[in-house]
A and B are shown apart, each in its own frame.
Chain A
């Protein structure tokens, strides 16, 4: 059974940093395209970042230069390093396995709150 479990969300001050983790089971992330999607409280979904099978990384303009996606194939875990956090980064962050241009499996999310 495919399972994704996010962790690492916390309350942080403006300008601070956090590292989110997404532990996968039931499949190997080494041959999967993985994505982070976020949802601000009461708002819609926003694509944040993706990492391809080959390791190439991609970012939304809103986080480019501040966030870094990476993965550890041995731990079967995807990470999102978030630096220079802003109040507008406050959201529930989901990781998802991406297949055929869609987000096939989702975790339950981890909450990031950035105070001003």
Chain B
């Protein structure tokens, strides 16, 4: 299964919003509502930010939101803060008990 496609980079000034896309196929993103997003700071383990397309785990700020349309999922970070600068990865269930990650996006806060 091929990796989901994400833009390599995204950026925004503090207080602005940034949206990251995650494009797959009807066999993964488009076929299931099991899309999740992870934030990874350098040298740290990934952290779950969004699950089941748009749900936030306890403790994740509501500045983070997720959505999906067809074969593309999106993560939006509103009111950007310096600590949001990190790598972000999407993931989707791909059927047959397989999972596939996105290629990753580096978010820079200008």
Contact = CB atoms under 8 A, between A and B. Distances in A.
Nearest to B51: A102
A56 B48 CA distance: 24
A107 B44 CA distance: 10
B55 to A, nearest CB: 8
Nearest to B93: A101
B97 interface: yes
A108 B55 CA distance: 24
26 contacts: A35-B99, A37-B46, A44-B89, A44-B104, A45-B38, A45-B46, A45-B89, A45-B91, A46-B101, A47-B100, A47-B101, A58-B98, A60-B98, A99-B51, A100-B51, A100-B52, A100-B55, A101-B51, A102-B36, A102-B91, A103-B91, A104-B48, A104-B51, A106-B46, A108-B45, A109-B45
A92 B8 CA distance: 21
A108 B57 CA distance: 19
Contact of B45 (A44, A50, A106): A106
B93 A103 contact: no
Give the interface size bracket for A toward B: 20 to 34
Interface of B: 1, 3, 32, 34, 36, 38, 40, 45-48, 51-52, 55, 57, 89, 91, 93, 96-104
A106 B55 CA distance: 18
List 4 tightest A-B contacts by C-beta distance, closest first.
A101-B34, A102-B36, A102-B51, A58-B97
Contacts of A58: 96-98
Contacts of B93: 101
A94 interface: yes
A47 B99 contact: yes
A61 B99 CA distance: 11
